[in-house]
Amino acid sequence: MNRPSEQERLCKEYGVEFTPALPTMKVGIARNVREGLSPLNGLRHPPSADTTGWYIWAGETLSVEDDFFVPLHVSHLHEWRPEAVRFLGLPPGWRFLMAKGHEDVWFDPNLLTTV
């Protein structure tokens, strides 16, 4: 019998369906994530084409600059910030925030609406 992954356990904890982000798919990630800034933030829109819908950044401010996010394959996220990987199984509409001694995970229905 397969043991559930850390991502699957997190989804079970929040009572949501595990929605994997395949290693060959991409996340949108801010370059500042590699700098170890805090807090670490993530949000998931619905997936599209070869993207997971995840956008991950560090720090207090989410920039609106066109080049703030760069594409990164899921398989390389552990090289940037391994602690973010455990959240990638959360379905679209979910967010996370991590800071020293603090973790918050919540559903944001606004992430599911189209603009």
Residues 8-63 have pLDDT tens digits of 999 999 999 999 999 999 999 999 999 989 999 999 999 999 999 999 999 988 88
Q: State which H helix or E strand residue 6 sits in.
A: helix 6-14
- Domain membership of residue 115 (yes or no) is no
- Domain membership of residue 61 (yes or no) is yes
* DSSP E strands, 1-115: 26-30, 40-44, 51-58, 69-73, 94-99, 102-107
What's the domain range around 88?
Answer: 6-108
- Domain membership of residue 43 (yes or no) is yes
- Domain membership of residue 51 (yes or no) is yes
Give the pLDDT band (50/70/90) at residue 115.
low
- Overall domain count for the chain: 1
- Domain membership of residue 18 (yes or no) is yes
- Domain membership of residue 98 (yes or no) is yes
| pTM (two decimals) | 0.92
